[in-house]
Structure 1
Amino acid sequence: MNFPDILAGPILRRTEKKEIYCWIALSKLIDTRTVVYDIQQTNDNFSLECVSSNCETTIAKMGENLFIYLMKATPNEEAFPTEQLLGYNVFFSDKSKEWSLTDYQLLDNHHPLSIVYGNLPLPSFFITETESASFLYGSCQKLHGIGEDALTKGDSMLADCWSDLTKRPSSLFLLGDQIYADDVADPIAPFIQLLGEKLIGKKEAYKELPILLGPDYNISFSQVHGRAEMMKELCCFTSTKAANHLITLGEYAAMYLLSWSPALWETAKEANSFLTFDELIARDKYYMDKTLNTDKALETRRKEYEDQANSLTKFANSVPKIRRLLANLPVYMIFDDHDITDDWNISIDWRQKVSNAPLGRHVVANGLTAYWAFQGWGNAPDTFSEQFLAAIHARIKGSSIQTQDYEYWLTSMWLFSNWHYTIPSTPVTLVLDTRTQRFYPDTKTKLIGSYLSKRTKGPNLIKREAWQKLEKSLYSSNWKKGEKLILLSATPLYGVDLIESFLKRIVLPISNKIPNLQETLDLEWWKFNGRGYHEFHNWLAKWNLSECIILSGDAHMAFALHSEVEHPFHGSRTIHQYTSSPIKNESFRGLASVALKGSLLLGNQLIKKNVTHRYCDHDFLLCEGDPTSDYIWKERIQHETLDSGFIIKTNNNLGLLEVSPPGITNKFL
């Protein structure tokens, strides 16, 4: 397989006055540097003034044909200009010559793969310190998800307002499920497996596991749709769509590259890598499980295959726009479960079973290693210690499972606790890790009258020690107690009340009687652990926020609300929450969408204009209504009606948040 030089990128990452990070994935080891320019426009002409010729490049060799570069540009003067359009170019060099993005036609305004807007000469961005700022945000992007990819709407917005910094968003927040490791489409699975092998260039150590040496698993491992049983039995995963689940580090890397760049889609087309369903059957490359024993079943699977292929084609056509967007906005990311596997750490039982399954432990560590390389590293590069980087290096060496290096890597990935970080935005943004820092309650749910006693079975999404680390990170930023704060939480603090109430009153009480019901129904919103929900509010009270804005995803629907929270001894505050999901993975279409919206509309009329009153008692029970006795805090929650007249949006969307002294506005693109 012949790889292009640039596999993905450039992607603009952490950006502030003192340093700017640029990320790029290459297929070869060469010298790279980023140069930053001040862009001045006179009529239709642009002049460029170099404001940063200082660049420190760090390289992570992930495989024989995969090198991740993180370039840190620092200003020639004391700081980069603010409230001014800036641009950048990436230069490459070897012993004989130097070239840049220009030589790949990426800066050609008329080329279909161009990463510049309008007639600009370079990809562009700006740094703002004013009290007025806007941000794009969203979550849940699946390659074969239904509908148009909402990131293309962000690209269209920048295409319209690239020169107007008062309208142009300053950053993009991706709030989880940037890839779906557990839900891989049949038509793309063979190419991802092949690509993973070629990128890394060596076989993974997990194949040394004795349980994988038998012929059955070796055959199904490489067949399309053949991994479901392996993931269930050998990994103890609970995904219901694991037939092509990513396993190797190379496969995780391939999924990221295909999600963000058109380069390897072109490689796949040139190599005729996409076979038809019948071609796979004829070549014995499709796993014929026992459900495919009739012509009708086979035809149904063929139709699913063709539908997925059509969705993938649409996505491939949109990738150049996605790449351009990622090159022109500072991008910040955090994982949710599908970045690793569905239901990741959803319960203590899940975590214990998977950590005790050698293959499950290996796959989760692979997912986290890929997350670091493609997402986490650029969020806050200084977060990762020499010990952590040594663990990554131990993995890349491809050590045998019998070595200390291999065990060191596994343990380091599973125990790492610094995925959270702050973003130097205005206001400051604090990014929460709601997957790896959980606390799991011992007490099961008991139903007493109409209330759930003590604690629900849902996990506390952030344990107390992790909150303390978050506070330390917050005070290490420019944030000061009492100021506004933006919180990024992959999981919403507030859900749609009617849906949450149904799950809490009906489903949670029986989840103690039915094994795996929690995993099946994904019961892990903040509300399903009263103590954890209270702790969230308690920290907000401690920080004395003048205003709190929560941006979240995960829900596969978009909605907006605000809550007036009152503490008897800690004053009151307003919390705004905006949830944008999915970017590309519509779950409610046609009659299902109409029925859901209709039910919510009827329910909202019954609960008086989308308003809910709630309080927390001293047993950490979340009770609806006004408190009649002593309470810890109470709140009044009101859902906002969207432009459609409903309180939810079910098609693919991307959020646009605008924060200014007059107030906060939000809309869904």
Structure 2
Amino acid sequence: MLRHVGPTTATVWVETDAPCDVRIRVDGGAVHAARTFTVHGHHYAVCEIDGLPTGAVLPYEVFLGEDRVWPEPDNSLPPSVLRTLCPQAPTRLLYGSCRAPTGDTPEGLVRYGPDMLRASARRLAREGFDSADENLVLLLIGDQVYADEVQEPMRAFLRRVRRTDSGDDASGDDAPEDEVVRYDEYAELYRQAWSDPQVRWLLSTVPTLMVFDDHDIRDDWNTSAAWRRGMDERPWWRTRVTSGLGAYWVYQHVGNLSPDARAEDPLWAAVRDHRERGADAGDTLDSFAWRAHEEPSSYRWSHRHDVGGVRILVADTRCNRALGEGDPSDGSRSILGSEGHDWLDENLTGGPEHIVVASTVPVLLPPPVHHLEAWNEAVCGGAWGAAARGPAERLRQALDLEHWGAFQYSFHRLADALLDVARGGRGPAPATVLLLSGDVHFSYLARARARAGGGTTSRVTQLVSSALCNQLPPNFRRAAALSASWPFHLAGLVMTRLAGVRRSPLSWRLAGRPHFGNTIGEVAFDGREAEARWYHCPQGGGEALPEVHRRARV
């Protein structure tokens, strides 16, 4: 997989089936090598390639030892390329979340819809990759894998590995039979998600940045303190969260880092030390992952990237949550945690032409849903008395009320910061401040403005594209559409007032109806202009090409 790229650097991530030297040959010339490291018996290499020309598109090959393994001999797709950044070039971002890999089988198309990651591979292959006139980046913002809702090939794998020859259950800790728990199982889950030939090619040739959402670990991960206490009582949870975070660091996070940032990462230093000694780093990764779960401030999962004139801030809205149960306004309940907010404030400044905040869960939900979440948080915090807190918590978990609206301290702090940037209070105001999100399994655009205190120089817009491949069943679509209606909006306003919820400094509305169906979003930046597009595959099918469903200036 082609991961972080800079003006003169590129990172290629590789998984192999045995320890070896991985060599990358660029454009038939220079060779860059890396030795694999080992985690729980699985082998990986992070190949850092430097000294590349700026704004270049260079074909590359992967060798294990002396054997060329990529591109494969029968590959019908274009050559994989390294695409370095050009600071002066326009930038195009693809983004999406929530993908259940089906290979576009007939059964998969009926339940999950067309796979927009596969469809994007077909579209980009047809467009060609021989031009260096733009920066192209793919953002996968959450639920790259579903550890708790696995497909039949993964269920078959779990049945096989969890049974001894005698037929006894070998799990040892009552692990759920249809959920991933151990590192080996996560490794197989990622293999199945990313080994489709079209997806494998796409990830090998488009620089990709990633961040987790709940299903990468478990549905509603860190919804509340009560949710977390309930999970802590399950005998398999420690193994699950340790394996999930460890696998996430290996498969997703380490590739987000620039070579300089990776060199400063203490876990990467420990992994390299194990590699030099020929030792397995599994125990070290497990210890790190458990500490990251128990002490969220011990590691920062958020990351920043400057691509042309666009600053991309990818925020961790899951692992670092603060889950206090007191007054919602005192910061003890926070979707980013105190360190996460400090990091975002530090990087959310003026200067770039465009600022993108990638948050897996939408900051600006349809207003009725936002009001419901804000009301629920207030009642969970005691606004309607102690007797109402328990029912409110059960409602929070049953309806997944755990987006930014359900963390009002975080919502207000971010909203104030966005307005400050958009008014030029933190340096030259960008042309746009965009919030990119997924998670909700429908797509929409929401335009925001300041409720009071004058207008803004920057255009503030929420863009949501979801799902890549996991469309909502019809009954859920109807419920989601109803929840965004005006009667629910008015009811939400009344409920939030009665619960003492502060008015938002932002006012926003959806531009048109939400789209239900699988999409992948795209934002094209050129100078101070930006255009958003949503692609879908109305015909479905394993070879269908995506079409633009909607476009809008942002």
Specify the TM-score bucket, using the shorter chain as the normaliser. 0.7 to 0.9
Is the CA contact (8 Å cut-off) linking 2:158 and 2:177 kept in structure 1?
A: no
* CA distance in 2 between partners of 1:30 and 1:433 (Å): 33
User: Shift in Å at residue 138 of structure 1?
Assistant: 0.3
* CA distance in 2 between partners of 1:337 and 1:584 (Å): 16
Q: What whole-Å deviation, never above 9, does each CA across 1:171-215 have from its counterpart, x for those lacking one? A: 1100000001111234531324657999xxxxxxxxxxxxxxxx9
Q: Is 1:80 paired with 2:46?
A: no
User: Shift in Å at residue 509 of structure 1?
Assistant: 4.1
Amino acid corresponding to residue 423 of structure 1 in structure 2: H
Residues 42-61 of structure 1 mapped to structure 2, 5 A cutoff: 50=29, 53=30, 55-57=32-34, 59-61=36-38
User: Shift in Å at residue 555 of structure 1?
Assistant: 0.7
Is the CA contact (8 Å cut-off) linking 2:446 and 2:508 kept in structure 1?
A: yes
Q: Is 1:100 paired with 2:68?
A: yes
Aligned twin of 1:256: 190
SS at match of 2:322: coil
* CA distance in 2 between partners of 1:340 and 1:534 (Å): 27
Computing the radius of gyration over CA atoms, which structure comes out larger, 1 or 2? 1
Amino acid corresponding to residue 252 of structure 1 in structure 2: Y
Residues 240-639 of structure 1 mapped to structure 2, 5 A cutoff: 243-261=177-195, 319-355=196-232, 359-380=236-257, 382-383=260-261, 387-389=266-268, 396=280, 410-411=290-291, 414-415=294-295, 416-426=298-308, 427-443=310-326, 455=329, 459-472=333-346, 474=347, 481=351, 483-504=353-374, 509=379, 512-514=389-391, 515-540=393-418, 541=420, 543-544=426-427, 545-546=429-430, 547-565=432-450, 568=453, 573-589=458-474, 593=477, 596-597=480-481, 599=482, 603=486, 621-623=501-503, 634-639=505-510
* CA distance in 2 between partners of 1:538 and 1:158 (Å): 38
Residues 97-246 of structure 1 mapped to structure 2, 5 A cutoff: 98-101=66-69, 104-105=72-73, 111=74, 113-114=75-76, 116-117=77-78, 121-123=79-81, 125-130=83-88, 132-143=90-101, 146-163=112-129, 165=131, 170-192=136-158, 194=160, 219=169, 221=171, 230=174, 243-246=177-180
Q: Is 1:69 paired with 2:45?
A: yes
SS at match of 1:583: coil
Amino acid corresponding to residue 71 of structure 1 in structure 2: C
TM norm structure 2:
0.78
SS at match of 1:532: helix
* CA distance in 2 between partners of 1:22 and 1:174 (Å): 17
* CA distance in 1 between partners of 2:143 and 2:186 (Å): 13
* CA distance in 1 between partners of 2:38 and 2:305 (Å): 27
User: Shift in Å at residue 490 of structure 1?
Assistant: 0.7
Aligned twin of 1:653: 519
Is the CA contact (8 Å cut-off) linking 2:37 and 2:280 kept in structure 1?
A: no
* CA distance in 1 between partners of 2:521 and 2:407 (Å): 27
User: Shift in Å at residue 560 of structure 1?
Assistant: 1.0
Amino acid corresponding to residue 357 of structure 2 in structure 1: L
Q: What whole-Å deviation, never above 9, does each CA across 1:570-607 have from its counterpart, x for those lacking one? A: 96643111111111111133x6536754x478649999
* CA distance in 1 between partners of 2:313 and 2:361 (Å): 14
Which stretch of structure 1 is more off in the superposition, 245-254 or 516-525? 516-525
Amino acid corresponding to residue 519 of structure 1 in structure 2: Q
Residues 73 and 666 of structure 1: CA distance in aligned 2, closer, same or farther (over 3 Å)? same
* CA distance in 2 between partners of 1:168 and 1:386 (Å): 30
Residues 414 and 88 of structure 1: CA distance in aligned 2, closer, same or farther (over 3 Å)? farther
Residues 148 and 556 of structure 1: CA distance in aligned 2, closer, same or farther (over 3 Å)? same
SS at match of 1:556: coil
* CA distance in 2 between partners of 1:326 and 1:195 (Å): 28
* CA distance in 1 between partners of 2:517 and 2:332 (Å): 28
User: Shift in Å at residue 322 of structure 1?
Assistant: 1.1
TM norm structure 1:
0.66
Residues 572 and 22 of structure 1: CA distance in aligned 2, closer, same or farther (over 3 Å)? same
Is the CA contact (8 Å cut-off) linking 2:445 and 2:510 kept in structure 1?
A: yes
Q: What whole-Å deviation, never above 9, does each CA across 1:87-132 have from its counterpart, x for those lacking one? A: 2211222xxxx23235731xxxxx3x54x32xxx544535332352
Residues 73 and 516 of structure 1: CA distance in aligned 2, closer, same or farther (over 3 Å)? same
Runs of 4+ in 1 over 6 A off after TM superposition: 166-169, 195-198, 604-607
The percent identity for this pair of structures is: 22
Q: What whole-Å deviation, never above 9, does each CA across 1:216-255 have from its counterpart, x for those lacking one? A: 9x63849xxxx9xx45xxxxxxxxxx54111110001100
* CA distance in 1 between partners of 2:457 and 2:510 (Å): 19
Residues 158 and 470 of structure 1: CA distance in aligned 2, closer, same or farther (over 3 Å)? same
Residues 569 and 103 of structure 1: CA distance in aligned 2, closer, same or farther (over 3 Å)? closer
Is the CA contact (8 Å cut-off) linking 2:162 and 2:171 kept in structure 1?
A: no
Q: Is 1:34 paired with 2:21?
A: no
Which stretch of structure 1 is more off in the superposition, 490-499 or 353-362? 353-362
Is the CA contact (8 Å cut-off) linking 1:564 and 1:573 kept in structure 2?
A: no
Aligned twin of 2:543: none
User: Shift in Å at residue 435 of structure 1?
Assistant: 0.9
* CA distance in 2 between partners of 1:36 and 1:92 (Å): 15
Q: What whole-Å deviation, never above 9, does each CA across 1:380-421 have from its counterpart, x for those lacking one? A: 15545564247766994666xxxx997566325643421111
Aligned twin of 1:15: 5
SS at match of 1:512: helix
Residues 470 and 600 of structure 1: CA distance in aligned 2, closer, same or farther (over 3 Å)? closer
* CA distance in 2 between partners of 1:359 and 1:129 (Å): 47
* CA distance in 1 between partners of 2:350 and 2:377 (Å): 41
* CA distance in 1 between partners of 2:484 and 2:400 (Å): 24
* Number of aligned residue pairs: 498
Is the CA contact (8 Å cut-off) linking 1:136 and 1:169 kept in structure 2?
A: no
Is the CA contact (8 Å cut-off) linking 2:98 and 2:470 kept in structure 1?
A: yes
* CA distance in 2 between partners of 1:358 and 1:497 (Å): 39
* CA distance in 2 between partners of 1:130 and 1:15 (Å): 15
Is the CA contact (8 Å cut-off) linking 1:12 and 1:22 kept in structure 2?
A: yes
Gapped runs of 5+ residues in structure 2? 103-110, 381-387, 536-554
Residues 531 and 131 of structure 1: CA distance in aligned 2, closer, same or farther (over 3 Å)? farther
